Amino acid sequence: MREGQNKLTCLILILIVSSLLLSLTGSLTPAGSAFLVLCGSIALFVINFRRHQAKHQLLFRSHELGATSAIAVRHLGGLPFPIPTPVNLFFTAETIRVETEHDVWQVSRRQLRNLVIMSAEQIHKLPDSDIIHALSGGNSRLLSLIREKIRRGDSLIRHSKLLFLTLQDESGDDSATDIVILSFADRKQMKKVLVREGLNEFVTDFQPETGV
C-alpha cells in the first residue's frame, strides 16, 4: 500500500512540475497550468491525509489490542481469507493476529514453525526444493499457485516482498501444517518487527540485508 502511494505521489509531482514547465514555455496556458497544479496539490493532500489516518488507526488498534508490534501488509489469498486484501498484522504476547476491515484471524505464537522472506521475483527463480525445505511444508503445486497469483497480480505485487508463515496444528502434529502468505513493501521495517518480537530464530531470508 505504501509503495503504491509513493508511486502515485511521484506521478502527481511529475504532473505538477511538467505543467509549470509547459506554462513557462507557452505550451500550456497559465489557467490550464494553475488548474493542474491545484488538482495535483489536492490529490497530494488527500494521499497524505489517508496515509496519516491509516497510520493513526493502526497505532490505535495496536494499543487497543495490547500488541507489541503492528505492520500494514497485504494478504495474497488462501488461508485465512479467500481473496487477496490489505490487512494489518499484529503481534501480541500470545498471538499472531491478522485483521481486515471486517474479518479477524489469529493463532497462538506457539503454532509458528518458521517464517520465510523472499522477493516476488525470487519465487520464480529459486528451485522448488529450496523453498519447500525452508517452509518445512507445502509442495510444488502450492508454489505454482502462488506464482500464478503473482503473475496475474498488479505491478505492486510482482515487485513486492513475500512473508510465508508456516503454522503447525494446535495439536502439535508436525505433519499438519498451514501456510499464510503475505506481501509487504518495506523489508527493513518487517525485519525490525521480527527482531523486536524475538522471531529471528524462525526466519529464513533468501535475500538478507546487512545492518538490520
Q: Write the DSSP string, 12-29.
A: HHHHHHHHHHHHHTTSS-
Q: Measure the CA–CA gap between 88 and 100, rounded to whole angstroms.
A: 7
209: CB partners within 8 A, 6+ apart: 187, 188, 191
Say if domain 67-205 classifies as CATH 2.30.29.30.
yes
Pair type for strands 203-205 and 112-119: parallel
Q: Which of 51, 57, 71 is nearest to 5 (CA)?
A: 51
Which cell goes with 50? 489517508
Bridge partners (DSSP) listed for residue 117: 163, 205
Residue matched to cell numbers 493542474: 36
Q: Measure the CA–CA gap between 116 and 101, rounded to whole angstroms.
A: 26
The pLDDT of residue 115 is above 80: yes
The pLDDT of residue 22 is above 80: yes
Q: Which of 174, 4, 168 is nearest to 72 (CA)?
A: 4
The more confident residue out of 72 and 148 is: 72
The pLDDT of residue 172 is above 50: yes
Length of the chain: 212
Lowest mean pLDDT among 3-7, 119-123, 168-172, 207-211: 207-211
Residue 98 carries which side chain, given as an amino acid letter?
A: V
| Helix (H), strand (E) at residue 57 | helix 30-65
Which cell goes with 86? 490489505
Instruction: Tell me the pLDDT tens digit for each residue of 28-87.
Output: 898 999 999 999 999 998 988 888 888 899 999 999 999 999 999 999 888 888 888 899
* CA dihedral (61, 190, 160, 138) positive or negative: negative
Structure pTM? 0.77
Which cell goes with 141? 503445486
Q: Are 212 and 122 in contact (CB under 8 A)?
A: no
Mean pLDDT score of the chain: 86
